[in-house]
Amino acid sequence: MSFKKSIQTLLLGFALCFCLLVGIGQNPIMAVTLAEFGSISQERRQTLPEETLNLESGVDRFLTSMPAGYYTISNVDGLKNLLKNPQTLLVDVREPSEYRSGHIPNAINIPLRTLTQNLDKIAHDRPVVLYCSTSYRSAMGVMTLHLLGYENAQGFPPSFPGWKNAGEAIAKS
């Protein structure tokens, strides 16, 4: 498997794990399962190659460096304030059909599955906000961008429904 494919697979795995953990909530059965998985993981550490351990500790540094709020804008007013800055790039990571049916004004559409092919559209030196319809895809996108060195990326967990339910303007294209 190529190095690029390995990185893509790794990023997808982290994103999926993140979404799984977010979706688990307070389910005690899943918490026990995850705790057991963690102890199995520790046993396996002794047999893993050095490259994997280096990658694992790099990922650990990344995850433990996340501030409270996990790079998010938690409400519509927060997003509106950020959008007052004309440098802010708003990215809708939903599929094109979802975007065409309605989106936040001035958002560009980069479907999550094409995010890494469109990095040239995302600047490192200006605020970037990702949103989708439920916050799962935007969370995966934010995590991916941060792993690729985009410290300026944030997600908008209220997502498109939160914007719409607040009675804010909707653009269609």
Q: In terms of Cα–Cα distance, which of 133, 125, 118, 129 is closest to 90?
A: 129
- pLDDT for 52-65, tens place per residue? 667 777 777 766 77
CA atoms within 13 A on the CB side of 35: 6
- Mean pLDDT is lowest, of 11-25, 41-55, 88-102, 121-135, for 11-25
**Does a structural domain hold residue 71?**
no
User: In angstroms, rounded to a whole number, what is the distance separating the alpha carbons of residues 149 and 89?
Assistant: 16
What range does the domain containing 132 cover?
76-165
131 lies in a domain? yes
Output the pTM of the full model.
0.66
Average of pLDDT values for 146-157? Answer: 92
Pairwise pLDDT comparison (22 vs 13), residue with the higher score: 13
User: Are 11 and 60 in the same domain?
Assistant: yes
User: Do residues 155 and 90 share a domain?
Assistant: yes
Please state, for a pLDDT cut of 70, what percent of the chain lies above it: 65
Lowest model confidence (mean pLDDT) among 45-54, 119-128, 137-146 = 45-54
Does the pLDDT of residue 28 top 80, yes or no? Answer: no
Q: Between residues 49 and 168, which one has the greater pLDDT?
A: 168
Instruction: Work out the pLDDT band at 3, boundaries 50, 70, 90.
Output: low
Please indicate, yes or no, if residue 53 is contained in any of the structural domains: yes
User: What's the rounded mean pLDDT across residues 16-23?
Assistant: 46
**Residue 114 sits in a domain of what CATH number?**
3.40.250.10
Residue 119 lies in a domain: yes
Neighbours of 141 (CB within 10 A): 26
Quick one: 100 and 157 in the same domain?
yes
Q: Give the integer Cα–Cα distance in Å for 136 and 159.
A: 9
- Whether residue 148 is found in the same domain as residue 93: yes
In whole angstroms, what is the distance from residue 158 CA to residue 75 CA?
A: 6
Residues 93, 41 share a domain? no
Instruction: State both tokens at 5.
Output: 């494919």
pLDDT exceeds cutoff 60 at 33: no
Alpha helices in the chain (DSSP H): 3-24, 28-45, 50-64, 76-83, 96-101, 136-147, 159-165
Distance CA 4, CA 10 (A): 10
What are the φ and ψ backbone dihedral angles of 81, each rounded to 5 degrees? -65, -45
Identify whether 69 is part of a domain. no
The pLDDT of 76-80, averaged and rounded, is 95
Whether 171 maps to a domain, the answer reads no
Tally of structural domains, the chain? 2
The confidence score (pLDDT) of residue 67 equals: 62
Sheet holding 128-131, edge to edge: 108-109, 89-92, 128-131, 153-155
The confidence score (pLDDT) of residue 74 equals 87
Q: Looking at the structure, tell me whether residues 21 and 96 fall in a common domain.
A: no
With a cut of 50, say whether residue 80 has pLDDT above it: yes
> Is the residue at 47 inside a domain?
yes
